[in-house]
Amino acid sequence: MTGFVSFVGSGPGDPELLTLKAVDRLKRADAVLFDDLSAGPILTHVRSGADLVGVGKRAGRLSPKQNHVSQLLVEYAETGQRIVRLKSGDGGTFGRLEEEIEALRAAAIPFEIIPGVPSACAAAAAAGIPLTRRLTARRVQFVTGHDMHGALPRDLNLVALADASATTVVFMGQRTFPAFAQMLMTAGLPADTPALLAEGVSTPAQALHRMSVADLAERLGTVISDAPALILYGALANG
């Protein structure tokens, strides 16, 4: 028997931001493998009796290895059940979706991908700002703030990332932002470029902090929240 896997993007945390298709798949699932940020009220949509398996990974905490998560997903699907792999935000954005897809393809297990509200879009909405603006912010770029080992990636395109006329969103970048900001400013980004630190977006713990890139780098050099956070910088970040 071969099951079926639905990769479901849960959005940034607010259950009201789930898509109708996401809710449908959660209600019909026999098992749900969920990320840490997809827990809580979102899981109330799962039917009674379904297996709930936490497989989330968080920076600085003991977490399951990705190959273990992929193998577990295959093993559940091979029982012939309907499986939901619940990923925070949109699973295709820094969610290691491809590695899990490759594991399913190798095992000949069918799947679908249901997108979720990207956390970057939710952060901008919470801050009351757009991600683009005619003439002054024509480009949006997403970048990860750490590599597989938790360090700042070495292959960053600093010319593009130091463009203050773009809206840049940094995922998982609190710990590396002080060093990243210094590299950006050396590459030409003005130190007073507006920046936004968005913590716990769309949850009761939401907090938004507006300041300059230089000031945010100084702040994150001493204070880092445990809440999931995004950093946005560029002309629009000051609202």
Tokens of 136: 């002054």
| pLDDT range class, residue 40, cuts 50, 70, 90 | confident
Q: What does the alpha-carbon distance between residue 179 and residue 170 come to, in Å, rounded to a whole number?
A: 13
Q: How many CB atoms lie within 10 A of CB 4?
A: 18
Selected catalytic residue, list 24, 36, 57, 215: 57
Q: Sorting pLDDT into bands at 50, 70 and 90, what band is 87?
A: very high
Task: Count Cα neighbours of 221 within 13 Å in the Cβ-side half-sphere.
Answer: 11
Catalytic residue among 14, 35, 90, 163: 35
Q: Report the percent of the chain where pLDDT is more than 90.
A: 85
**Does residue 147 register a pLDDT over 90?**
no
Categorize the per-residue pLDDT at 4 as very low, low, confident or very high, splitting at 50, 70 and 90. Answer: very high
pLDDT value of residue 61: 52
Active site residue 27: no
pLDDT in tens, 53-81: 999 765 555 567 889 999 999 999 999 99
Average pLDDT score over the chain? 93
Distance CA 179, CA 226 (A): 19
- Greatest CA separation found in the chain? 59
Q: Which domains does the chain have, with CATH numbers?
A: 4-114 (3.40.1010.10), 119-233 (3.30.950.10)
What global pTM score does this model have? 0.91
Please state whether beta strands 111-114 and 4-9 pair in parallel, antiparallel, or not at all (unpaired). parallel
The yes-or-no answer on residue 35 being catalytic is yes
Contact 137, 236 (CB under 8 A): yes
Distance of CA 30 to the CA centre of its chain: 25
pLDDT tens-digit series, residues 90-146 = 999 999 999 999 999 999 999 999 999 999 999 999 999 999 998 888 899 999 998
Q: What does the pLDDT look like over 155-170, one tens digit per residue?
A: 999 999 999 999 999 9
